Amino acid sequence: MANDVWNAVEDYFSDRLILSDPALDAALASSAAAGLPDIQVAPNQGKLLQLLALIRGASRILEIGTLGGYSTIWMARALPEDGRLISLEVDPTHAHVARANIKRAGLDDRVEVRVGPALDSLPKIANEGAAPFDLVFIDADKQHNPDYFAWALKLTRPGSIIIVDNVVRGGRIVDETGGNPDVQGVRRLMEMIGDEPRVSATVLQTVGSKGYDGLAIMLVTGAANGDRH
């Protein structure tokens, strides 16, 4: 449902703000050539992820849903040299393409792509001492958003940022009657967030090359007994 004006405005800002470069362009081109779906974040959204990581001073980042590593590259560029990003991907082909893209971007020293269902990888990460993460980006299968959010809370600390992609889905989020499991996953997630005293959250509605969608952005406050912001 992308609209011509949204696209023109996105291109205008992407050009002025220089939201592409050879490594990002190559990541998109090789993902397309490998037949991956064209569902990575838009350039301005990738830059938002990077800015949030920089503002937080993130040195540990967790991503759930790698695809071709486009959002991974944006976020990993915010890491210090000794920083680390772990990205979880169920599809071995996606992971293979992502690893090549990440290597080409010069980030393979700090990024690890783990193949398998995220719900299998997350308990292992918890047991390894890789946490706490300073930033978690949730962008995989939407029906598991409630589980991913619960894990994100376990794997972060007060001051961490949690971001969830695709919470608007062209407005389908308000279609309560539909049984679409992705929409139900987002709706259950939003109910959890609303009931969760340990996070302070907002949602940004977005338009552009990815159509009409939105990002949930949360700060882990750790205020577990009612101190809402």
Q: Which is nearer to ligand DHB, 184 or 200 (CB)?
A: 184
The Cα angle at residue 202 between residues 200 and 206, in degrees rounded to 5: 160
In angstroms, the Cα distances linking 185 to 33, 53, 145, 149, 203 are 31, 25, 6, 11, 16
Which string of x and - marks every residue 4-43 that binds ligand DHB (by CB under 6 A)? -----------------------------------x----
Q: Which is nearer to ligand SAH, 14 or 200 (CB)?
A: 14
Q: In this structure, are residues 54 and 60 in contact, taking their beta carbons and an 8 Å threshold?
A: no
Site size for Mg ion, by CB under 5 A? 3
Q: Is 66 a residue that touches ligand DHB (CB under 6 A)?
A: no
Give the footprint of ligand SAH on residues 70-109 (CB under 6 A): 70-71, 88-91, 94
**Tokens at 14, concatenated:** 């992407």
Q: Is 165 a residue that touches ligand DHB (CB under 6 A)?
A: yes
Rounded Cα–Cα distance for residues 64 and 162 (Å)? 11
Among 6, 19, 40, 155, binds ligand SAH (CB under 6 A): 40
Q: Is 166 a residue that touches Mg ion (CB under 5 A)?
A: yes
In angstroms, the Cα distances linking 25 to 15, 73, 103, 160, 211 are 13, 11, 14, 30, 20
Q: Kindly list the residues in this chain that would bind ligand DHB in the complex (CB under 6 A).
A: 39, 65, 139, 165-166
